[in-house]
Amino acid sequence: MVDSRLLVRLDALLGVFALAVVVAAFYLATLNPFVGALALGAVGVGLYALLSYVRGFLVGAADPPE
């Protein structure tokens, strides 16, 4: 069973990533394309780490109790 605290934490992290994508797109479009591209790359790495964390949690949750 998935803990509600985990869901709240994931929801908050996804909100932060969404905000980071908006800021990165703004930089990419208007201010500095290089900084915007780096920010989008950092967001991609962060999302990969978040999805790896969730996948590891779900795989661990499927293990039978000993």
Over residues 38-62, mean pLDDT? 77
pLDDT in tens, 11-47: 788 888 888 888 888 877 788 888 878 878 888 888 8
The domain locations on the chain are: 4-61
The beta strand positions in the chain, using DSSP E, are none
**How far from the centroid of its chain's Cα atoms is residue 4's Cα?**
18
pLDDT of residue 65: 64
Higher pLDDT, 48 or 2: 48
Asked if pLDDT for residue 60 goes beyond 80, the answer is no
Amino acid at 45: V
Neighbour-count burial of 3, counting CB atoms closer than 10 A to its CB (0-12 exposed, 13-18 middle, 19+ buried):
exposed
> Taking the model in full, what pTM does it have?
0.57
